[in-house]
Structure 1
Amino acid sequence: MKQYVLAHDLGTTGNKATLYGPEGDLLSSAFYGYDTEYGGPNWAEQDPEHWWRAVCDSTHALLRRARVRSSEIAVVTFSGQMMGCVPLDEHARPLRNAIIWADQRSLEQERWLAERIAPADVYRITGHRLSASYSLCKILWIRDHQPDVYAATHKFVHAKDAIVARLTGNFVTEPTDASGMNLYDLEAGTWSAPIIAAAQLDVDKLPDLRRSIDVVGTVLPAVADEVGVAAGTPVVIGGGDGMCAAAGAGVVREGAAYNYVGASSWIALATPKPIFDPEYRTFTWAHLVPGLFSPCGTMQMAGGSYQWARDQLCLPEQQAAQALSISPYDLMNLSAEQSPAGAHGLLFFPYLIGERSPRWNPRARGGFVGLTVRHTRADMVRAVLEGITMNLRVILDAFTAQGAQIDAMRVIGGGARGRLWNRIMADVYGIPVHRLAVLQEATSMGAALAGGIGVGLYPDFSMSETMNEIAETVQPDPANQAVYARTYPIFEAAYHALVPIYDMLADADL
């Protein structure tokens, strides 16, 4: 009986294959890694052949581990890294390495395009700033620097779409990934004719648009044995990893929001309409759920800042944790709990590699403000957690200023494990924080939802709330809220006061 959902998550470091049962239960997973090549300044590329090998090998390993036959797979579905550029020929073979999301080489193409269409218009059409980060400028870079590759390209697609094309022979994408291209009209749900005209882009080189829950083909007999799935198995396109995470976190209705806390962090919502910020501070994706949108703001160094604190400030905790065979973060959290809310007036700015939304300031730098002789390492560790969280509140405030209603904050990712951090979030955000039962697999869970719904195995996206239940609710503490109500305006004022200093430091090239 075909009762299992096979979901692949093509991330930046590797592919994770996961198997879900008919009730949405996670049964097993397998991971296969691959490398990123950095061939030039601000370049980041991956070989799509490595993605294909990762999908094939992880599928075989997963089914062996789970003792499931390929004939029992009801559907194959995907999530994947977003904002990339994969040129494929008509046989779904890559013509060069993929230019991935982290690549920033196409700044000249960004400047060229800004002269042909107003960046404000791009934001209003696509929900995103005009940027070299997105797929369009990467496509234009190939056109400008590798015209033979551009001419030979049948379709420009994303990571998951490249694998789907090879599996099925069909070249498609869907709204979540399309909305990360600077080419997609968010509200119309189509490729944007004004942007395509301004870019002088060949629209025939763009894939067909389907819904995230659509069956877009079946596994071809020619690749079935290699990939380890029976020929004729339905393939559902799924979505970009960020939007799959939203669905896996249960953010599938208006009023819901989630906070992913990993090395970086973001806050995203589910809304019936896009949120267009007057200052372009936030951006909006198409949601995995057809008809919904997902306004989002992303910071560069969340868990990354806490990791920096671990490495630079907390050697005793690292040594003790090694001796006790526990995480050093557990000991850091215990230390931070010895400091009160507000860390005795110490502020930390988590701009260790500049900042994205809502600051959009690559020159911003990290630091402590308010340090005195009375401050301890416990104060410094707590200030790091509070500074990260207050920076995330800037994103939250940008949404609420535009009328977004947020009932509670769901948290996922490795950083969501820390109960102290959960409490700080509740107190800084001023709303309940829901720590979910599944913190690390929300992305594959969202892809599995799309696949299961697409073939009728799962009823609808509301199933996410039972697949990933709330493990704990943390309510704001009124006394701590009052402290942060006084601290947060100081945090904001200090950042803006330091902007000229950041510029001076950058110009000094120290």
Structure 2
Amino acid sequence: MRQYVLAYDLGTTGNKAVLVDEQCHLVASAFYPYTTFFPFDKAVEQDPWDWWISVRQSTHELLEQSGVPVESIAVISFSGQMMACVPLAHDGDPIGRALIWADMRSTAQAQRLNAEVGEHRLYQIVGNRANASYSAAKIMWVKENEPQRFQRTYKFVQPKDFVAMKMTGRFVTDYSDASGTNLFDLSSLQWSSEILAAAGIDGGLMPQAVTATTVVGTLTASAAEELQLVEGIPVVIGGADGACAAAGAGITEPGAIYQYMGSSSWLGSVSRMPILDERARIFNWAHVVPGLYAPTGTMQAAGTSFQWLRTVLERGGDDLSFERMEEMAAQSPPTAKALIFLPYLLGERSPIWDASARAAFVGLQMHHQTGDLIRAVMEGVALNMKGILDAFTEVGSYDMIRLIGGGAKSRLWAQILADVYGVPMAVPKVVDEATAMGAAVTGGVGVGLYPNFEVVADVIGEEQMIYPSVERHGVYSLWQPLYEGAYQALKHTFQRLSECSFDGDRGTRMLD
């Protein structure tokens, strides 16, 4: 009987379930969305029960679509969005909604943690800056603002860990997700007692951390019944989406680099030790490949910026598909007729690390049309990512960048990236499922179905190479300082805007 890996990729917009066979070929996939809540300024939440429902529904659809017998599923594994705060009770039930990675309400807590530990010291321990996007500051916020919820919490976990707990009854995370909390010592691969103490968080509230390929339990009878699977399937914990995306893109050897384009976007590489950038633009995860690290630079709102503009335009009466928006953007010249978009809809991590940053169109004039706005958004993301690439090129050189994620399906966006970077972009046939494929290969390696992580390189498909235009790269090289200068010119204004409060119909109130 053929054997299969069942893997789940719990992303920002929904869960993607995939079945992958023993040759690491994708057999079937199913997607089920869930809702994101924005209860107040900077707050971004999801209901963990929605994650579980999406896992259940996507499993049912996957089995029906593929016809694969449940007895042939050899292992279950996961990838998931990182840096959340998911409070669970002793019985594993969630205590209220989770604060996801995009939630930036805990800026004050992050600043206090930075002051307590010291910016340089914290970066040396965890390989990341203290920031509101990470779990530590979010947990601190819950402790200070929702003390009853904090007192009821048995463990703080990540999204995939909640689903794994529902399947096995065990509270476990992996090194890659742990390294996105601001609480994990990357050298010792243990929770940092020094940072936990500074944050005022009892170490007992954190789950056991293990390698991503670890079998953490087997599928319980109750979970099997709900998912329409069979009891006893091994469950491998898997890894964080960034680390799984690297594995799914075939980035498993030191020196390679890739870019993921989804709701957020990141550039990631592989190294044997964390890369500690003097300006702390790069941060570091543990890789799902044991013994390796995944230095990364992430911006908050890449595809999110594009989707935001689409939503705004459709409210105005336009019915715009992605393809139609791309066609309109292609009619606009490089620099979108001298229009800059700063893509800071959710504040920003790399390269500027400014939670107060705001999005802005700079340079709007009467002659600008819809296509110019769309192109400016695409270019704004690329120009922001160029600042991250600059940090990587200070420690290495790259002759091409592999591009994955939903945004990789846009030929225009890939061309803009190549032109801004001055580096060819390699787009494999498998772009949408790369993160889920990374979760699948992690699970397969964990139970011995695959000999190593290199098996994925044979199945990601031939790459389409997109080469930069020398002329357009020259234009963007001159445009980059204007883009960076626009942020610097508005930085103080962004800070003042972040100090405003919203009072319903009464409008905005400026704070003293």
Common fold: TM-score over 0.5? yes
Q: CA RMSD, aligned part only?
A: 3.1
Corresponding residue for 2:503? none
Q: How many positions carry a matched residue from both structures?
A: 501
* Deviating more after overlay: 250-259 vs 141-150: 141-150
Corresponding residue for 2:419? 427
Corresponding residue for 1:461? 453
Superposed, which structure 2 residues align to 1:468-479 within 5 Å?
A: 468-479=460-471
1:140-196 Cα shifts (integer Å, max 9, x gaps): 334344545444433221111122122222221111110111110112211112112
Q: Residue 83 of structure 2 contacts residue 133 of structure 2 at CA under 8 Å; is this kept in 1? A: yes
Corresponding residue for 2:11? 11
Q: Residue 339 of structure 2 contacts residue 361 of structure 2 at CA under 8 Å; is this kept in 1? A: no
Structure 1 position 303 matched with structure 2 position 303: yes
Q: How many angstroms apart in 1 are the aligned matches of 2:436 and 2:131?
A: 28
Q: 339, 348, 357: which one pairs with 1:363?
A: 357
Q: 393, 397, 407: which one pairs with 1:400?
A: 393
Q: How many angstroms apart in 2 are the aligned matches of 1:94 and 1:384?
A: 37
Deviation at 1:302, TM superposition (A): 2.9
Structure 1 position 412 matched with structure 2 position 408: no
Corresponding residue for 1:102? 102
Instruction: Give 2:386's aligned amino acid.
Output: R
Q: How many angstroms apart in 1 are the aligned matches of 2:331 and 2:127?
A: 42
Residues 304 and 276 (structure 1 numbering): CA distance in 2 closer, same or farther, change over 3 Å? Answer: same
Deviation at 1:42, TM superposition (A): 3.5
Q: How many angstroms apart in 2 are the aligned matches of 1:101 and 1:491?
A: 26
Structure 1 position 141 matched with structure 2 position 141: yes
Q: How many angstroms apart in 2 are the aligned matches of 1:372 and 1:489?
A: 21
* Deviating more after overlay: 271-280 vs 175-184: 271-280
Residues 70 and 131 (structure 1 numbering): CA distance in 2 closer, same or farther, change over 3 Å? Answer: same
* Deviating more after overlay: 493-502 vs 74-83: 493-502
Corresponding residue for 2:328? 332
Deviation at 1:495, TM superposition (A): 3.8
Q: TM-score, normalised by structure 2?
A: 0.87
Corresponding residue for 2:505? none
Q: Residue 42 of structure 2 contacts residue 346 of structure 2 at CA under 8 Å; is this kept in 1? A: no
Residues 158 and 471 (structure 1 numbering): CA distance in 2 closer, same or farther, change over 3 Å? Answer: same
Superposed, which structure 2 residues align to 1:37-48 within 5 Å?
A: 37-48=37-48
Superposed, which structure 2 residues align to 1:68-467 within 5 Å?
A: 68-307=68-307, 327-336=323-332, 339=333, 341-342=334-335, 347-352=340-345, 354-361=347-354, 362-369=356-363, 382-401=375-394, 403-467=395-459
Which stretches in structure 1 are left out of the alignment for 5+ residues?
none
Deviation at 1:309, TM superposition (A): 5.7
Residues 347 and 198 (structure 1 numbering): CA distance in 2 closer, same or farther, change over 3 Å? Answer: closer
Deviation at 1:291, TM superposition (A): 1.8
Q: TM-score, normalised by structure 1?
A: 0.88
Deviation at 1:229, TM superposition (A): 2.2
Q: Residue 453 of structure 1 contacts residue 460 of structure 1 at CA under 8 Å; is this kept in 2? A: yes
The alignment partner of 1:30 has SS state of: strand
Corresponding residue for 1:23? 23
| Percentage of pairs with the same residue | 45
Q: How many angstroms apart in 1 are the aligned matches of 2:97 and 2:425?
A: 41
The alignment partner of 1:201 has SS state of: coil
Residues 173 and 38 (structure 1 numbering): CA distance in 2 closer, same or farther, change over 3 Å? Answer: same
Residues 354 and 101 (structure 1 numbering): CA distance in 2 closer, same or farther, change over 3 Å? Answer: closer
Instruction: Give 1:327's aligned amino acid.
Output: E
1:448-497 Cα shifts (integer Å, max 9, x gaps): 01011111112221222222124301122333333333333343344434
Which stretches in structure 2 are left out of the alignment for 5+ residues?
501-507
Deviation at 1:317, TM superposition (A): 12
Deviation at 1:350, TM superposition (A): 3.5
* Deviating more after overlay: 200-209 vs 477-486: 477-486
Q: How many angstroms apart in 2 are the aligned matches of 1:205 and 1:30?
A: 34
Deviation at 1:57, TM superposition (A): 2.8
Corresponding residue for 1:483? 475
Q: How many angstroms apart in 1 are the aligned matches of 2:371 and 2:316?
A: 12
Q: Residue 2 of structure 2 contacts residue 22 of structure 2 at CA under 8 Å; is this kept in 1? A: no
Q: How many angstroms apart in 1 are the aligned matches of 2:145 and 2:310?
A: 43
Deviation at 1:287, TM superposition (A): 1.6
Q: Residue 318 of structure 1 contacts residue 328 of structure 1 at CA under 8 Å; is this kept in 2? A: no
The alignment partner of 2:71 has SS state of: helix
Q: How many angstroms apart in 1 are the aligned matches of 2:259 and 2:105?
A: 29
Q: How many angstroms apart in 1 are the aligned matches of 2:313 and 2:491?
A: 26
The alignment partner of 1:116 has SS state of: helix
